[in-house]
Structure 1
Amino acid sequence: MSQQLPDVQASRPDVTVGLNRVGVTGVEKLVRIERPDSDPIVLMAEFEVFVDLPSWRKGADMSRNMEVIDETLEAAVSERAYRVEDVCGDAAERLLEKHEYTTRAEVRMEAEYVTHERTPASDRKTQSTADIIASATADGDGTREEVGARVTGMTVCPCSQGMSTTRARETLRDLGVEDRVIDQFLKEVPQPGHSQRGHATLTVESDGSPDVDLHGIIEVARESMSARIYNLAKRPDEDHMTYESHRDAKFVEDCVRAMAEGVVDRFDLPADAVVTMKQSNDESIHQHNAHAERVAEFGDLTGEVNGDGA
C-alpha cells in the first residue's frame, strides 16, 4: 500500500508574510495567431506566469503548479486567437479559476516577430525583427491586457551635431564663404554627430478590448528614432540611413516624446488606457547608456500632446 506524501506546500510558513508573485519563468510555447485574410502567424513565445500567495500558505505547489500552468498555457495557445494579448488574458483567467488560494494571476509573453519590408534606396526585399510584448493580469475586478513591442533603430546626438555645425560654419567663414551660402549648405548637408543604436519600447495596457494594432505600435516605435535600420543594406541604403539620421538628430528624451505624439495621432484609445514609452540608447562615445521613459494614461497624454493646459 503506497504511503501518501505530506503536502508541505499547504502548511503554514514560519514567517507569515504574503508574496505578490510566485510562479515560473522561461516557459516556451508555440503560439498561433489567426489572421482573417492571410496565413496565421506562428510564434515561438516565452512565458512568465505568476500568482499571489497568501501569508498562511508556505508554497504554491511548484511541481503541481507547473502542471497546471502547462495545461493552462496549452489550452490558451490551442484556442483560436487573433491577438497575442488575448492568449495571455485567457491563461490568466484560467489560472485564477484553478487556484483557490490566490486572488491575482499574471501571464507575460515575449516573442520575436518578423516584418517584411523593402530597403529605402535600393528597393530590395528584406526582413526586420521586433520583440512582441504581451501580458495580462486577472483578479476579482476583471482582466487587464497589455500589448506592445520593442524595436531597434538609430539616433544621432543633437549636441554633438551642434558642435560640428559650429566648427563647419567657422571654417567656411575663414575660407571666405558668404553666410547666405553657409546657411544653405548646412541646411542641405547635416553635419556629423555621434550616433547610437536605439531601443524603443511601446506598450498599451487597458481593460476590455481596445483597437490596438500591433503593426501600428511597431511603426510608431520605429519612426520615433532618428532613422530606421534594415537587415539588408546596399551602399545607397547605408547612405540613406546615415543622411536621414543626421537630418533628424534626437536626444533620448525626444524619442519618447515622438512616441507620445505618434500614439496620439495614430490610435483612438480609452482615456484610462496606460501607455508606456521607453527609449534606451547604446552610446558610442561614452561607457554609459542613455535612458528615458514615460508612463501615462492616454487621456492625459492626449492633453499634453495637444497642448491643453500648457
Structure 2
Amino acid sequence: MSHQLPDVQATAPEVTVGLSQVGVTDVTKLVKIARDGKRPLILMAEFEVFVDLPSWRKGADMSRNMEVIDETLEAATREEVDRVEDVCGDAAERLLEKHDYTSRAEVSMQAEFMRREQTPATDRETQHTVDIVASATATEEGTREEIGAHVVGMTVCPCSQGMSAARAKQKLEDLEIAEAKITEFLNEIPQPGHSQRGHATLTIEAAGDPEVDLNDVIDVARDAMSARTYNLAKRPDEDHMTFEAHSDAKFVEDCVRSMAEGVLEQFDHLPDDAVITMSQSNDESIHQHNAHAERIVEMGTLREEVNGN
C-alpha cells in the first residue's frame, strides 16, 4: 500500500502575510550567444529566480521552481540564443505558467562578457571585459525584458583642470607670452586634472522585442566617460588615452548626461515607456570618498527633457 506524501508547501501558513519575492539565487548555467558566421560566445551566467507568494500559501515549492529553471536554462545551453535577455524572459514566462498561485515571476542574470577590440593608437588586438546584466519580469499583462552592462573607463575632473589652466596662464603671462599665443596653447594642450577610474552602468527595459544590441549598450556607456580604457596599452596608446581624457574632462553628473545623449542617439526607436537606468560612480583619486550620480527615467520623459533644452 502506497502512502501519498503531504503537500506541506500548499498548506496555509501560521502567519498569513504575502511575500513579494521567494526563490533561489546563485544558480550558475552556461548560455550560448549566436554570432553571424562565427562560433557562439559562451557565457558562465549566474541567475536569480523569484516568484511572488500569496498570503494563503505556506511555500513556493522550490523543487518545482528549480525544475522549471533548469529545464529552461539547460535548453538554452543546448541551443544558441540571439539575445541573452530572452533566456530570462522565457524562464519567467514558464514560471508564471507553472505556478497557478503566482502573479509575477522574475529572472535575472549576470555574466562576464569578453569583446575583442583594437588599441586606439597602436591598433593591436586586445580583449575587453564587461559585466553584463539581463532580467525579465512576467505578469498577466505581459513580459518586460532588460539588458545592460557595467563598464569601466576614465574620467578627469574639470574643476582641478580649471585651476591648473589658471596657473599655467599666469606663468605664461609672467613670461610675457602674447595673449593670443596663450589662448592657442591652452586650447590645444589640455592641462592636468585629477583623474580616476569610472564605473558606468546602463540598462534598458522594455516590453516585447525592443531590438537593443548589447554591443551598442556597452559602447554608449563607455563613451559617456572622458576616455575609454584598454587592457593592453603601449606608450602611444597611453598617451592617446591621457590626451583624450583631459580633452574631455567630466564631472560624474556630466557622464550620466552624456549617457542620456548617447541613449537618445543610439536607441531612438525605443518606445516612450522603455525604462532607462543610467549611473556613474568614480573612484576618486585625491579624495577618500567616491562620487556617484544616477537617473532612472522613461524614454518619453528623456526625449522631452533633452529636446526641451
* Interval of TM-score (by shorter of Structure 1 and Structure 2): over 0.9
Aligned to 2:69: 69
- The offset of 1:64, in angstroms, is 4.5
Distance 1:35 1:191 in 2: 43
Q: How far off its partner does 1:6 sit? A: 3.9
What's the offset of the Cα at 1:4?
5.0
Work out whether 1:296 is the aligned partner of 2:297.
yes
Question: Which position in structure 2 is the counterpart of 1:128?
Answer: 128
Contact between 1:76 and 1:90, CA under 8 Å: does it hold in 2?
Answer: no
Q: Secondary structure at the match of 2:227?
A: coil
Structure 1 Cα separation of the partners of residues 282 and 81 of structure 2: 34
Any idea what SS the aligned residue of 2:296 has?
Answer: strand
Please give the alpha-carbon distance, in whole angstroms, between the structure 2 residues aligned to 1:206 and 1:110.
18
The letter of the residue matching 1:169 is K
Q: How much does 1:79 deviate?
A: 4.3
Displacement after TM superposition at 1:96 (Å): 0.9
User: Per-residue CA shift, 1:53-101, capped at 9, x if unaligned?
Assistant: 1111122223443333322322344444211111111111111111122
* TM-superposition CA deviations, 1:28-56 (whole Å, max 9, x none): 10001223433222111111111111111
1:51-90 paired onto structure 2 within 5 Å: 51-90=51-90
Q: Where does residue 263 of structure 1 map in the other structure? A: 263
SS at match of 1:32: strand
Name the residue aligned to 1:277.
278
TM-score (norm 2): 0.94
What amino acid is the match of 1:293? E
Q: What does 1:160-309 align with in structure 2 at a 5 Å threshold? A: 160-267=160-267, 268-306=269-307, 308=308
Match of 1:157 in 2: 157
Secondary structure of the residue that 1:65 maps to in structure 2? helix
Percent identity for Structure 1 against Structure 2: 71
Matches within 5 A, 1:112-127: 112-127=112-127
* One-letter amino acid of the counterpart of residue 132, structure 1: I
Cα displacement string for residues 116-175 of structure 1 (whole angstroms, at most 9, x for unaligned residues): 111111111111111111111001001001111111100011111111111111122222
Offset of residue 2 of structure 1: 7.0
Aligned partner letter, 1:304: E
Is the Cα contact below 8 Å between 1:190 and 1:243 reproduced in 2?
A: yes
What secondary structure, in the 3-state scheme, does the structure 1 residue paired with 2:228 have? coil
Cα distance in structure 2, aligned partners of 1:80 and 1:229: 31
- Name the count of aligned residue pairs: 308
TM-score calculated relative to the size of structure 1? 0.94
Measured in 1, the distance between the counterparts of 2:22 and 2:39 equals 37
Q: Following the alignment from structure 2 to structure 1, what is the Cα–Cα distance between the partners of residues 224 and 99?
A: 42
- Counterpart residue identity of residue 289, structure 2: H
State the Cα RMSD in Å.
Answer: 1.6
Which string of whole-angstrom CA distances, capped at 9 and with x for unpartnered residues, describes residues 231-270 of structure 1? 0001111111111101100011111111111111112211
C-alpha distance in structure 2 between counterparts of 1:183 and 1:190, whole Å: 11
More deviation in 39-48 or 241-250? 39-48
Listed one character per residue, the Cα deviations across residues 158-214 of structure 1 (whole Å, up to 9, x for unaligned) are 111111111111122222222222111111111111111111111111111012111
Quickly say closer, same or farther: Cα 1:302–1:169, change in 2 above 3 A.
Answer: same
SS at match of 2:30: strand
1:248-304: CA deviation from partner (whole Å, max 9, x where unpaired) = 000111111111111111122112111111111111111111111111121221222
Which amino acid in the other structure matches residue 284 of structure 2? E
Instruction: Say which SS state the counterpart of residue 82 (structure 2) adopts.
Output: coil
SS, match of residue 66 in structure 1:
helix
**Residues 130 and 149, structure 2, Cα contact 8 Å, conserved in 1:** yes
Q: Is the 8 A contact 2:26 2:47 kept in 1?
A: yes
Q: 1:76 to 1:121 in 2, by over 3 A?
A: closer
SS in 2 for 1:9: helix
SS at match of 1:166: helix
